[in-house]
Each structure stands twice: as structure tokens, then as C-alpha cells.
């Protein structure tokens, strides 16, 4: 284990995928380690997915949702409902996400969000 808020002994842009589940907002500090075209796979616990949606370095390319028959399904394309807040007129502010460490409740909820680094 290590503290990802401190510089890691990892070459920048050398990692294919960063997994961030219940880890805080790791993407802000660790995105520099992800290769261009690499992936960030995260949940929205501690606002990780909500922060990634605000970050111009990432593009949402898929979500993982529960499925009764298969356990989970990966959905690609038509992801807009997974990015629109359930409550209308919710203003998503980075400062508020950092302060509360709570993700936004979206119209459709995903178990995981997959982003590509641009």
C-alpha cells in the first residue's frame, strides 16, 4: 500500500488501467500515470466518477450495470442518462464534490464507470 497523494514510483503515462473503487478521488492525482487511450474504471463512491465527468482529460465510454441474468452488463453508447443528475437544477461543482466526497445521484445508476484518457 501507499499514499497516492504523494508521488508514486511509477513512470508517467505508463499504466493501461487505473481502478478506483472506494479510494477517494484518485483520478485527479493519478491520471498522469495513465497512458493516453488508457482507462479509468471507478465507482462514484467518494465522487470519483462525478469528478472524472468534470475532467476534460477523460471521456466516459461505458458503464457497468447489474443484470438479473448475467450478473453485470457493460453498456457502451447512449450514456447520457448516466451523466444527468436525477434532481433538476443540480449544479455540479468540483469544490463541493471534494468537500463532501459524495457523488451525484444520476438518472440512471451504474456500478462502475469506464473512462478513456484523451
pLDDT tens digits, one per residue of 32-87: 999 999 999 999 999 999 999 999 999 999 999 999 888 999 999 999 999 999 98
* pLDDT band with cut points at 50, 70 and 90 for residue 90: confident
* pLDDT band with cut points at 50, 70 and 90 for residue 115: very high
Query: Is the dihedral angle over the CA atoms 42, 46, 49, 52 positive or is it negative?
Result: negative
Amino acid 6: pLDDT: 85
The structure's pTM equals 0.91
Residue of 47, 53, 60 whose CA lies nearest to 103: 47
Give the DSSP H or E segment for 108: none
Residue of 101, 18, 9, 11 whose CA lies nearest to 58: 18
Per the document, the length of the chain is 118
Give the DSSP H or E segment for 86: none
Distance CA 19, CA 38 (A): 11
Q: What is the mean pLDDT of residues 25-29?
A: 91
Distance CA 115, CA 103 (A): 16
What are the backbone dihedrals phi and psi of residue 4, each rounded to the nearest 5 degrees, phi first? Answer: -70, -10
Amino acid at each position: 500500500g501507499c499514499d497516492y497523494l504523494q508521488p508514486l514510483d511509477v513512470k508517467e503515462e505508463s499504466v493501461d488501467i487505473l481502478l478506483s473503487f472506494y479510494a477517494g478521488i484518485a483520478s485527479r492525482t493519478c491520471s498522469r500515470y495513465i497512458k493516453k487511450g488508457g482507462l479509468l474504471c471507478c465507482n462514484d463512491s467518494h465522487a470519483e466518477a462525478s469528478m472524472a465527468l468534470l475532467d476534460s482529460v477523460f471521456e466516459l465510454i461505458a458503464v457497468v450495470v447489474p443484470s438479473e441474468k448475467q450478473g453485470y452488463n457493460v453498456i457502451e453508447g447512449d450514456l447520457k442518462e448516466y451523466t444527468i443528475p436525477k434532481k433538476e437544477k443540480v449544479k455540479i461543482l468540483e469544490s463541493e464534490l471534494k468537500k463532501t466526497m459524495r457523488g451525484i445521484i444520476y438518472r440512471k445508476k451504474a456500478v462502475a464507470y469506464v473512462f478513456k484518457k484523451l
